[in-house]
């Protein structure tokens, strides 16, 4: 993996990440393909909107269909017919948010599957091996993500354990991927405690992994607190390596956090809300079910070049949604993902011109006004 920052504008960076399955321009958004599928979207839709990297969830793939089957079918890329890059998380976040009866120990996490109650185990070694079996271009270290309202003492104990876990991930990765075909990223936790973020960022940076991430944001705190936390934590991560903010967020979050120096984002939000009829546009949010779109011949966003906007009217999309037609899921998801990728593309161009703040300010204003 190679990473070069080509332009800086304030704290914002425009860079290029070279991975085994192609280049990734940063800042970049990664659509989420939870169980080896970006919900309602086929790989050719993703190609058409210019996606360069998607995310897969280790927890979900562990439960179904299982990493051994994916490996036997040629790895995640071949299994799902996706030729570009894949980043997988370590499964840690879902163990805390989805699994039942979880028990954390120094060894790792034991939990019950949310699908069938079966007993499962994830350790730093196992999470790393699974991601290597899947064939991910970027693997994430196994960490613990405590709820932001956990007592400070718990955060401290968890951070110390997470550092030990990440070191074990690194040892497994070094031993089992000697050619360094796959890049391992470390994760910095610490909730909203600034001194804990600083301490953990120093510990994780010292591991000298190819990239670093911020975890534990957007887990229930107010947006303003998250933006301030990210603005404080992003510069703590090494300058010359990619910085990934996990699981965030809204278009406003992406703009503000990219201005703070974040390079990579992922979130289920654009596809999840698309299935509920919420479309993001350059004029703000659009609820397609609203009666005022019943006879509206315009596309959702007349500045968008996606298949949905080139081809269909708001009136038709409203009809599909009202009739609960499956096509609504696909068309709405294509548009929202295209909007997110365009937002990042426009922001990259603004960073190159030294106009990142002005661009973000204009977009934030439009979102505040709403459609
Ligand atoms: Zn569109």
The domain that holds 216 is classified in CATH as: 3.20.20.105
Cis amide leading into 195 (omega within 30): no
**Pick from 142, 145, 104: nearest CA to 124:** 142
Distance 359 CA to ligand 1 centre (A): 20
How far is C-alpha 171 from the chain's CA centre?
25
Measured at the alpha carbon of residue 17, what is the angle toward residues 127 and 12, in degrees to the nearest 5?
A: 105
177 is known as an active-site residue: no
Band (pLDDT 50/70/90 cuts) for residue 4 is very high
Distance 246 CA to ligand 1 centre (A): 25
Residue 240 and residue 328 in one domain? no
pLDDT tops 80 at residue 371: no
Of the three residues 220, 241, 267, the one that is the final residue of a domain is 267
**pLDDT single digits (tens) 175-226:** 999 999 999 999 999 999 999 999 999 999 999 999 999 999 998 889 999 9
Distance 312 CA to ligand 1 centre (A): 9
Residue 101 and residue 202 in one domain? yes
Distance 335 CA to ligand 1 centre (A): 4
**pLDDT single digits (tens) 97-116:** 887 889 999 999 999 998 99
Residue among 9, 143, 263, 266 flagged as catalytic: 266
Distance 2 CA to ligand 1 centre (A): 32
- Give the list of residues 6+ apart from residue 206 with CB closer than 8 angstroms, or none: none
Instruction: Starting at the earlier edge strand, list the strands of the sheet with 109-112.
Output: 100-104, 109-112, 119-122
216 within domain boundaries: yes
Q: What is the pLDDT of residue 97?
A: 85
The two beta strands, 85-88 and 138-140, are parallel
Q: For the ranges 44-48, 144-148, 289-293, 326-330, which has the lowest average pLDDT?
A: 144-148
Instruction: In whole angstroms, give the CA distance from residue 348 to residue 342.
Output: 10
pLDDT tops 80 at residue 128: yes
17 within domain boundaries: no
pLDDT tops 80 at residue 148: no
353 within domain boundaries: yes
Phi-psi domain of 338 (left: phi exceeds 0; alpha: psi -120 through 50; beta: other) = alpha
116 is known as an active-site residue: no
Distance 9 CA to ligand 1 centre (A): 28
Residue 137 and residue 209 in one domain? yes
Residue 190 and residue 251 in one domain? yes
128 within domain boundaries: yes
Of the three residues 218, 248, 267, the one that is the final residue of a domain is 267
Residue among 89, 137, 253, 263 flagged as catalytic: 89
Residue 250 and residue 308 in one domain? no
Residue 97 and residue 208 in one domain? yes
Instruction: In whole angstroms, give the CA distance from residue 367 to residue 48.
Output: 26
Residue 189 and residue 309 in one domain? no
Residue 193 and residue 285 in one domain? no
Residue 256 and residue 323 in one domain? no
5 within domain boundaries: no
Instruction: Name the residue range of residue 349's domain.
Output: 277-369
Distances (CA, A) of 233 to 14, 190, 197, 236: 18, 10, 7, 5
143 within domain boundaries: yes
9 within domain boundaries: no
Q: What is the pLDDT of residue 283?
A: 93
12 within domain boundaries: no
Instruction: In whole angstroms, give the CA distance from residue 70 to residue 33.
Output: 15
Residue 40 and residue 157 in one domain? yes
How many domains are there within the chain? 2
Distance 170 CA to ligand 1 centre (A): 41
Mean pLDDT for the stretch of residues 12-17: 98
Residue 180 and residue 312 in one domain? no
Of the three residues 242, 267, 292, the one that is the final residue of a domain is 267
Distances (CA, A) of 138 to 18, 52, 266: 11, 13, 13
Residue 328 and residue 254 in one domain? no
Measured at the alpha carbon of residue 161, what is the angle toward residues 158 and 166, in degrees to the nearest 5?
A: 120
pLDDT tops 80 at residue 370: no
Distances (CA, A) of 220 to 144, 191, 286, 357: 16, 11, 24, 27
């Amino acid at each position: 993996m190679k990473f070069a920052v080509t332009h800086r504008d304030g704290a914002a960076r425009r860079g290029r990440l070279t991975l085994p399955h192609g280049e990734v321009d940063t800042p970049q958004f990664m659509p989420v393909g939870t169980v080896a599928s970006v919900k309602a979207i086929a790989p050719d839709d993703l190609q058409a909107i210019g996606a360069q990297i998607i995310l897969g969830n280790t927890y979900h793939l562990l439960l179904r269909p299982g990493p051994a089957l994916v490996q036997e079918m040629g790895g995640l890329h071949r299994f799902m017919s996706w030729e570009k890059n894949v980043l997988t998380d370590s499964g840690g976040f879902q163990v805390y948010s989805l699994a039942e009866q979880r028990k954390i120990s120094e060894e790792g996490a034991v939990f019950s599957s949310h699908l069938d109650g079966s007993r499962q185990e994830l350790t730093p070694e196992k999470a790393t091996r699974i991601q290597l079996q899947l064939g991910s271009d970027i693997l994430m270290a196994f960490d613990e993500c405590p709820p932001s309202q956990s007592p400070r003492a718990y955060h401290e104990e968890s951070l110390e354990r997470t550092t030990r876990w990440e070191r074990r991930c690194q040892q497994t990765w070094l031993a089992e991927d000697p050619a360094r075909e796959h890049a391992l990223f470390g994760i910095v936790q610490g909730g909203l405690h600034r001194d804990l973020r600083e301490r953990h960022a120093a510990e994780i940076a010292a591991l000298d992994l190819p990239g670093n991430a911020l975890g534990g944001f957007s887990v229930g705190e107010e947006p303003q607190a998250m933006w301030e936390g990210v603005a404080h934590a992003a510069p703590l991560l090494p300058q010359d390596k990619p910085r990934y903010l996990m699981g965030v967020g809204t278009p406003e979050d992406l703009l503000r956090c990219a201005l703070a120096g974040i390079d990579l984002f992922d979130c289920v939000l654009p596809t999840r809300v698309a299935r509920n009829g919420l479309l993001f546009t350059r004029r703000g949010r659009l609820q397609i079910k609203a009666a005022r779109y019943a006879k509206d011949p315009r596309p959702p966003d007349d500045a968008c070049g996606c298949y949905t906007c080139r081809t269909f009217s708001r009136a038709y999309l409203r009809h599909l949604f009202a009739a609960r037609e499956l096509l609504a899921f696909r068309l709405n998801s294509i548009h929202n993902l295209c909007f997110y990728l365009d937002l990042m593309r426009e922001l990259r161009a603004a960073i190159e011109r030294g106009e990142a703040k002005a661009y973000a300010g204009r977009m934030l204003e439009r979102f505040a006004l709403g459609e």
